[in-house]
Amino acid sequence: MPGDIQLTCSDCGQEFTFTAADQAFFSERGFSTPKRCKNCRAAKKAGQEGGGGYRSQASHGTPVICSGCGQPTTVPFEPRGDRPVFCRDCYTARKGAGGGGGRGRY
Ligand SMILES: [Zn+2]
Ligand SMILES: [Zn+2]
């Protein structure tokens, strides 16, 4: 019967217990003996997953000047020169004025 093993973490230098259950789990999956304690492994994993994997695409847009209020804004399309472009506020206000306050598409 294998027992628990005390190992030293290569990251933080702390001793940690490589339990018999963990040893069975690791050998079952073909993993080698861990070099890091659970805390450091968790931290490393979190760092890899949270390190800028998610990128917002909401910022994609064309910078324009709103024809209604004159504020700089972005629109999610390529504006044509012969048509006025509006910021979201003005667009919603204009749309809402004609439609009696219905829900916008935004
Ligand atoms: Zn550690
Ligand atoms: Zn505007």
* Residue-range definition of the domain harbouring residue 78: 62-98
Specify whether 15 is located in the same domain as 44: yes
37 Cα: distance to centroid of ligand 1 (angstroms): 4
57: in domain: no
What spacing in Å lies between the alpha carbon of 57 and ligand 2's midpoint?
22
Prediction pTM value: 0.41
Q: How far does the centroid of ligand 1 lie from the alpha carbon of residue 1, in Å?
A: 27
The residue written with tokens 């040893």 in the block is 23
User: Tens digit of pLDDT for each residue in 18-65?
Assistant: 999 999 999 999 999 999 998 998 998 888 765 454 444 445 788 889
**Number of folded domains that form the chain:** 2
Listing DSSP states for 33-54 in one string gives: PPSS-HHHHHHHHHHHHHSS--
- Split at pLDDT 50, 70, 90, the class of 16 is very high
Confirm whether 103 is domain-assigned. no
